[in-house]
Amino acid sequence: MIKWLILAVAIYLLYRMFANDLLKKKKQDKEEDAAEMERKVAAGEMVKDPECGAYVSVDDSITVRDGEQVYRFCSYECRDKFLKRLQEGGRQLPPQD
């Protein structure tokens, strides 16, 4: 009986050791991802979607140009919501080329 109890305690301790390592790894990965995101934003590689606030890549985003101003969106849904909000406010963007 004592052997099983010792075995169970040993298994539990091993589980806790590995679980803590996995949690630390996940936390470290999140911190690295956040640092990478901040670097890309600072470098101008990523911009904030004006509709939903998500960060999108400058190269892979959906764009709307208003004269010199370029708006970048994460999806067509966000773009359409933005354009609808502008139209409801009485503002029209020039047609896209």
pLDDT tens-digit profile, the chain (97 residues): 898 989 888 898 888 877 777 777 787 778 877 787 777 777 778 888 888 888 888 888 888 887 788 889 989 999 999 888 888 877 766 555 4
Residue 97: domain span: 45-97
Place of tokens 């067509």: 76
Task: Domain count for the chain, please give it.
Answer: 2
Place of tokens 């998500």: 54
Q: Say yes or no: 51 and 91 in one domain.
A: yes
pTM of the model: 0.54
The length of the chain, given as a count of residues: 97
Q: Say yes or no: 18 and 61 in one domain.
A: no
In angstroms, the CA 57 to CA 44 distance is 9
Q: Say yes or no: 96 and 49 in one domain.
A: yes
Q: Say yes or no: 53 and 85 in one domain.
A: yes
